[in-house]
Structure 1
Amino acid sequence: MTNRFPNDDSFTFSNGYYCWVTAIFVDIRNSSALFGDEDKEKVAKVIKSFTSETIEILRNNDNLREIGIRGDCVYAIYTSPMKRDEYELAEKTFYINTFMKMLNELLLGRNLPEIKIGIGMSTSKELVIKAGRKDVGINSKVWIGKAVARASKFSSFGNKNGIAPLIFSKSSYDQFISFLEEKNRKSKPKEWFNKHYDEQLGTYYSANIIKTEFNSWILDGMKD
């Protein structure tokens, strides 16, 4: 057992790691309507802008272990042995939430459709194994636990039915909230979150947190 799992080079088909994992999923809302637009070139520009910049935000972390695109969703999975790791990853969700304001301003300026997203983040101890066929070079890591599945599900909750875009599992929230309070002593960060309960997923929290300096720059016309 270990709190951190290594990079791909250390994985074999005969070993596995049981460790803390955090997953972030960023899912486009109402994507079927967007993808069904007859102007495919317009849709392609929107999707490229969303995916490229979201990946850029998510990939910049030494604990990153997997990143990719699943249909209309960008996801990243990290090893997260320390509470501070959870705070740094939560900060990424705040940046993505703010970036979407910038992206939609740019899309509107080019007569392209706005997009909405849901962002899900979840943490748990997972068994990570390598599965596939060694002799044909087809293999992938498999995450056996709750973090990846729940982050994916939570991303489908965000920005829907009146719920805020950011959704955090209780385990993620419990890990990063003290750091968020420390960084925002003049505010009351716990009041930024709404608590929810789902029979299958348990307690989770929603929020609509943005990075104020980034947002001010957007409101000022995104000038250098």
Structure 2
Amino acid sequence: MQANYKAYDFEKSRERMDEILDSSDNNYQESNKVPSIDDLTYTNGYHINCSALFIDMRGSKELATKHQKKVLAKIYRVYISEIVALLNGNPNIQQIYIEGDCVWGVFNTETKDQIDRVFQTAFEANSLIQTLNIKLKKKAYTQLKVGIGLHYGQALVIKAGYKGSGINEVTWIGELIGKTAQYCNNANKGYRKTIILSDVFYSNLNDDNKSLCQKVNYTDYYEGDVISIFMNQWVQENG
């Protein structure tokens, strides 16, 4: 959020606190579709059933020690640029966020076909990183490693910020975001594969996609090193 300086008024601050805390607890709607930003106010919210996809870089601290800042900026820019482009190319994408070297998105998934499409975006992201690594290698830059997490569930979406300032953000609260971030954090570490998807997300995939994933014992998730056949052809020809 871009700041725009305005002197802090303690009295107005207390009034805003009361306005928010005294607002109705009933002003929250159930929905299977992410609302328009225009439908969100500072006193309402939506309980949404939808899907989330997180993509996070591994070893970013080590990466920062291996390159000059200008080279590091190129690596981060190309990584973030193309991950955002890929997520934005999913017709069901609703929100995209960039938090450091993590890029994540929220998708409308009212049908199982839409959940399969989010899974496709996940394995295309895996192939995208492989594609980028070929180009990084040719520049003698460090190649990237990412973890990818997927989940379907419920989240509370609200508008949060400083009322009247224009400084606000759509904020997601609840199990959906926390669990997806957790799956992403576990992915591609130790023996874990690149993509981790929750049991509930897996249960909504078609049989072909299910066959690409394996259950991880004693957990609530599946995993897979799934790639895009189309994108992998270029990787094989140019690797």
Q: TM-score range by the shorter chain?
A: 0.7 to 0.9
- Deviation per residue, 1:126-184 (Å, 9 max, x gap): 221212222122222222221111111111111111111101111211112x2xx2xx4
Contact 1:165 1:208 in 2 (8 A): yes
Q: Out of 164, 178, 192, which is 1:149 matched to?
A: 178
Equivalent runs, 1:1-224 vs 2, <5 Å: 1-176=30-205, 178=206, 181=207, 184=208, 189-196=209-216, 203-221=220-238
- In 1: Cα distance, 2:101 partner to 2:231 partner: 25
Secondary structure of the corresponding residue to residue 26 of structure 1: strand
- In 1: Cα distance, 2:214 partner to 2:91 partner: 31
Contact 1:65 1:78 in 2 (8 A): yes
Stretch deviating more after TM superposition (189-198 or 107-116): 189-198
- In 1: Cα distance, 2:143 partner to 2:231 partner: 19
- In 1: Cα distance, 2:34 partner to 2:86 partner: 22
Secondary structure of the corresponding residue to residue 50 of structure 1: helix
- In 1: Cα distance, 2:196 partner to 2:225 partner: 9
Structure with the greater alpha carbon radius of gyration: 2
- In 2: Cα distance, 1:217 partner to 1:38 partner: 27
Instruction: Normalising by structure 2, report the TM-score.
Output: 0.82
Tell me the CA shift for residue 124 of structure 1: 0.3
- Deviation per residue, 1:27-74 (Å, 9 max, x gap): 110111012235222222211111110000001234322212111111
- In 1: Cα distance, 2:139 partner to 2:129 partner: 15
State the one-letter code of the partner of 1:114.
Q
Secondary structure of the corresponding residue to residue 221 of structure 2: strand
- In 1: Cα distance, 2:31 partner to 2:180 partner: 22
State the one-letter code of the partner of 2:171.
V
Stretch deviating more after TM superposition (206-215 or 9-18): 9-18
- In 2: Cα distance, 1:38 partner to 1:48 partner: 14
Contact 2:202 2:210 in 1 (8 A): no
Could you say if the C-alpha distance between residues 148 and 18 of structure 1 is closer, same or farther in structure 2, counting changes exceeding 3 Å?
Answer: same
Stretch deviating more after TM superposition (20-29 or 126-135): 126-135
- Deviation per residue, 1:96-140 (Å, 9 max, x gap): 101111111111111111110001111102221212222122222
Contact 2:90 2:121 in 1 (8 A): no
Runs of 4+ residues deviating >3 angstroms: none
Tell me the CA shift for residue 194 of structure 1: 2.4
Secondary structure of the corresponding residue to residue 136 of structure 1: coil
- In 2: Cα distance, 1:61 partner to 1:213 partner: 17
Structure 2 residue runs without a partner (length 5+) = 1-29
Q: CA RMSD in A?
A: 1.8
Structure 1 residue runs without a partner (length 5+) = none
